[in-house]
Amino acid sequence: YYPKAGHLLSALPLALGIFAVRLIFERCIAGPCASILQIQTESSRRAQPNAVLEKVFTSITKSPDSRHLEGLSKQLDWDVRKVQRWFRQRRNQDKPSTRTKFCESMWRFTFYLYIFTYGIHFLWQSPWMWDTRQCWYNYPYQVLSSGLYHYYVTELSFYWALMFSQFTDIRRKDFLIMFIHHLATISLISFSYVNNMLRVGSLVMCVHDTSDFLLEAAKLANYAKYQRLCDFLFVVFGIIFFGTRLIIFPFWILNTTLFESWDIIGPYPSWWLFNFLLLVLQVLHILWSYLIARIAFKAVMRGKVSKDDRSDIETSSDEDTDTTSKERLKTGARSHSPRGENGTNGHFGPKSWSQNHSDW
């Protein structure tokens, strides 16, 4: 049969089903795995109870400026740095625990590994994987097989689920970038489905799925404190990410959508929109590659993987500029646990990851 816009409506209830499966998976499978690996529940040291500071934190500001800090210091007869430390600990107290981050990453790892395996198995038998010009022969009268239909609808449902759960999941500094990414991905999948560009669309999805499960695997290793495994997986992820997003995607996918399709079927109105969305993805690939390269550079300079720039959980190093180096070292020693945790929410590092995610 041929694709119809109405077929995409089945993705919405399936997205709810995927979200329900995720909740069950995290509770019944990921949670016990976290317990076996002794993943901590608390994300950071809790701030001591204080009614005055709690009222300021909940009703006025979570990050008071120097003027407010001095006023609170005099009111409580506390040192300014002690007030700073209280607000920092109170902010971190609301952050998700390592156990929560582990369960989220384990779910994504499982799905990404499954969908990548399915995609490779399906495309391996498809002629357009070996000759991209096959994506455009007899277009748009290409029959949609049941395997390709299920591949498409499952991917679309998963990204709809991610779109909604992004507002309840661990919030990171690249929230807006990931939101744009999810919008572009959903638009691309839906648009290519309605326009029967499923062959090239399946290639795009497979290229993006290639490195995602490796990123989540590295995050899992980091949460479990297997640092060498984490570093190794990150290196493998980085190599595959650069290879797929900066080489295969532009020189294989964009080449066929921009040039081969032009030669075989010629441009038409939806052709321009489809390629525009693909170019938006490529810009995001370049941005993420830059962030990964920065982390890799820090890893080389420091001898191990550094904290992710997207981290949104503060550590004791987040002090005012007038703090002395000696005070920073003392505070840092107090804030880090013996196992090297610093409370970051996500990426690769000797301490904690910031991920996530996604389609990273």
CA–CA gap between residue 47 and residue 86 (Å, rounded): 6
Helices (H), the chain: 11-25, 31-36, 51-59, 66-76, 80-93, 98-124, 127-130, 146-165, 175-194, 198-223, 227-243, 254-255, 261-264, 269-302, 325-335
Quick one: which of 296, 305, 300 has its CA closest to 230? 305
Q: What are phi and psi of 152, to 5 degrees?
A: -65, -50
Mean pLDDT of 247-266: 93
List, for residues 8-65, the tens digit of each pLDDT value. 777 888 888 999 999 999 999 999 999 999 887 765 567 778 788 878 777 777 778 7
Closest Cα to residue 78, out of 53, 59, 58? 53
DSSP state for residue 10 in the 8-state scheme: G
125 is written with which tokens?
């038998």
Whether the model pTM is above 0.75:
no
Q: How far apart are CA 85 and CA 97, in angstroms?
A: 19
pLDDT digits (tens, 9 = 90+) for 57-116: 777 777 787 888 888 888 888 888 888 888 887 777 767 778 888 999 999 999 999 999
| Amino acid found at 276 | F
Please, what is the Cα angle at 121 between 206 and 193, to 5 degrees?
Answer: 50
Gap between the Cα atoms of 23 and 104, Å rounded = 10
Structure tokens at 136: 């455009």
Residue-wise pLDDT tens digits, 270-287: 889 889 888 988 998 998
Question: Per the structure block, which two tokens stand in for 218?
Answer: 């590295």
Spatial CB neighbours of 100, under 8 Å, sequence gap ≥ 6: 43, 170
At 2 the pLDDT is: 53
- Position 54 scores a pLDDT of 78
Of 324 and 70, more confident: 70
Q: Cα(303)–Cα(291) distance, rounded to whole angstroms? A: 18
Torsion of CA 5, 6, 10, 13, to 10 degrees: 100
**Integer Cα distance of 155 and 202 in angstroms:** 10
